[in-house]
Amino acid sequence: MIESFAQLETIAKDRDLAEVFLETDEEEHGIPGEQILEALRKRRGVMLDCVVRGKSGGQSMGKLVGNEAKLLNEAFQSGKTFLDPLTVKAELYALSVMGENSRMGVIVAAPTAGAGGIVPGMLLALEEERKIDPEKTVRALVVAGGIGSIIALSANISGAAGGCQNEVGVASSMGAAAVAYMMGGNTHHSIQAAAIALKNTLGLVCDPVGGLVEVPCVKRNALFAVHGLTAAQLALAGVDSIIPMDEIVEAMVRIGRSLPRGLRETAEGGLATTLTGAAIGQRLKEEANQRRAARAAERERIAQERKKGVTS
Amino acid sequence: MTVRHDRKVSILDVMGPVMVGPSSSHTAGTARLGRVAREILDEDPATVRFFLHPPLAATYRGHGSDFALVGGSIGLNVDDPRIPEAIRIAEQMGVNIEFKDEDLGEVHPNTVRIEIEGKTRKAEIVGSSIGGGVIEVFNINGFQTRFKGDSPTLLLFYRDRPGMISEVTRIIAEEGINIASLYCSRKQRGKDAFMQIDVDSPISDAALGRITAMKDVSEARYLDRIP
């Protein structure tokens, strides 16, 4: 079992990183490499579906978000965006996936649903813009998953455990390693990309308004997809992280533990308790109570009708 | 020092699951916990009661955890597009659903206790959704254990006596099946006991029949990997 990034660097030196992860996963879990690749081909398909559907927008469950992808797409299609197409598409695809997620659509948790726009945003935009073979993207998903599985050895991948760094930070780190791989980088480049991306998300708190995966999650996915691309760019240029990846993960876990409970997905701090955030939270609570009361009344009505049916 | 998990999650667990949004810990993980309860019960549920640990109770509604828990408990997969409709479907099936708050102690924030009852049986689990759809069930029918649902598993309820483990493991060995891990616990010496055996490949009906027929076994339940 590969237990650390230091060990990964030694084992996977001068080797194809996806191949190494496929081999170790087969050893550890008995899932043949071809089966993993086939599953990830399908998951890439699910990601693409999200991108296609998500571009047209639509209101989220909590009605706070939904049209971000649509607006950016319209601006892009009419030539009104100023960033380069790769960056715009990374943002657009991340927003599309997160829009689908907020409507209870079918998505791929990568590594979580709340951070599920980042990896597809980065990888699908790069694949399209640089005309990369989709099969290479599938192998890059192996790399992303492999990096995440080593992080998950020491960290629980959830905002409740350690804040947003544990979700969006980890997703961005996984995506950065995968992008370095897609652009022809070696194992060292991928680990450095992961390190630079993760290091610069440390301390990111999880303070969702009303407790929903909507604000700030949807837009944050777009921004951190771009963050991951820039980390991969630095790593590929030969820039190394001074702090090794294993120590960054350890720091992330320590920071997560010292975060107050209110900043770990409870919606009891940060943005959730701003004037606007708290007002939205209150409104959502009231609406939920009304829905619950309506459901209870409906149940009561059905029960009464059944009773009547029996007596008559 | 960072606490290390004893087992690495697979690539497909990290880069997945394919699921209905919006939250892997609140929607996919909770659906899987509901599904575990349903699989242990092994018949159609008539009543399901969910006892939510306070942090989960505070956040579950906005994430559709209620739909997901109920969906899992009536047998829906995490990627089933009917999950948003699960409560209505359960009501149509005549399943009685209850949600309550309960302090479950020093546990992961996203922890739930589930009581599930069918026509002939009932079951109870306590488990956490620890992120990315990964779950840890640490109590089954009152017995301490560690169940993740990531491999085929045999659950055995029996009366504690010497030789029990060797008899069961012999049957499994004769099937040519490798045991990945084994947990035992009991309420009192010579009284109710529980064994969880995680295996690398499926156990045949014939072997399960032999195990069920063993002296002092009250119930044997075989669970596939929880999707």
Domains and CATH numbers, chain A: 5-273 (1.10.4100)
B15, B111, B199, best to mutate vs chain A, most A CBs in 10 Å? B15
* Separation of CA B18 from chain center: 19
B195 and B116 co-located in one domain = no
B60 and B137 co-located in one domain = yes
Q: Do A157 and B8 touch (CB under 8 A)?
A: no
Does residue A34 carry a pLDDT above 80? yes
B27 and B130 co-located in one domain = yes
In a domain, B195, yes or no: yes
Q: Min CA distance, B64 vs chain A (Å)?
A: 8
Q: How many domains does chain B have?
A: 2
Q: Min CA distance, B213 vs chain A (Å)?
A: 31
Q: Do A107 and B19 touch (CB under 8 A)?
A: yes
B113 and B219 co-located in one domain = no
Q: Do B62 and A284 touch (CB under 8 A)?
A: yes
Which one, of B108, B138, B110, lies nearest residue B31 by Cα? B110
Question: Quick check: B64 contacting A, CB < 8 Å?
Answer: yes
Q: Which of B107, B141, B175 is the last residue of a domain?
A: B141
pLDDT tens, residue by residue, A82-96: 999 999 999 999 999
B23 and B114 co-located in one domain = yes
Q: Which of B117, B141, B165 is the last residue of a domain?
A: B141
In a domain, B148, yes or no: no
Q: Are strands B111-117 and B134-140 parallel, antiparallel or unpaired?
A: unpaired
Does residue B1 carry a pLDDT above 50? no
Tokens of B185: 């616990």
Query: Which H or E run includes B149?
Result: none
B31 and B137 co-located in one domain = yes
pLDDT at B3: 56
Q: Could you tell me if A52 and B32 are in contact, meaning their C-beta atoms sit under 8 angstroms apart?
A: no
In degrees and rounded to multiples of 5, residue A146 shows phi and psi of -65, -45
Highest mean pLDDT (candidates A119-128, B15-24, B52-61, B100-109) = A119-128
Contact residues, chain A, for B63 at CB < 8 Å: 211-213
Q: Which amino acid is at A243?
A: I
The band of A197, judged by pLDDT with boundaries at 50, 70 and 90, is very high
pLDDT at A1: 85
B158 and B120 co-located in one domain = no
3-class DSSP state of A82? coil
In a domain, B5, yes or no: no
pLDDT at B4: 67
B119 and B157 co-located in one domain = no
- The overall average pLDDT reported for chain B is 93
B102 and B160 co-located in one domain = no
In a domain, B8, yes or no: no
- Give the pLDDT mean for B219-224: 94
B33 and B96 co-located in one domain = yes
pLDDT tens, residue by residue, B14-57: 999 999 999 998 999 999 999 999 999 999 999 999 999 998 88
Q: Which of B100, B116, B141 is the last residue of a domain?
A: B141
In a domain, B6, yes or no: no
CATH of the domain at B167: 3.30.70.260
Question: Quick check: A3 contacting B, CB < 8 Å?
Answer: yes
B38 and B131 co-located in one domain = yes
Distances in whole angstroms, Cα of residue A297 to Cα of each of A165, B68, B93: 42, 22, 18
Range of the domain at B52: 16-141
Q: Could you tell me if B64 and A104 are in contact, meaning their C-beta atoms sit under 8 angstroms apart?
A: yes
In a domain, B89, yes or no: yes
In a domain, B81, yes or no: yes
Give the C-alpha separation, B92 to B115, whole Å. 20
Give the C-alpha separation, B144 to B103, whole Å. 18
- Give the pLDDT mean for A280-305: 84
CATH of the domain at B75: 3.30.1330.90
Burial A242-280 (b: 16+ CB within 10 A, else e): eebbbebbbbbbebbeebeebbbbbbbbbbbeeeebeeb
In a domain, B169, yes or no: yes
Does residue B6 carry a pLDDT above 70? no
Contact residues, chain B, for A101 at CB < 8 Å: 21-22
Q: Could you tell me if B26 and B68 are in contact, meaning their C-beta atoms sit under 8 angstroms apart?
A: yes
Give the C-alpha separation, A69 to A155, whole Å. 31
**Closest by Cβ to A29, choosing from B10, B24, B61:** B10
B175 and B107 co-located in one domain = no
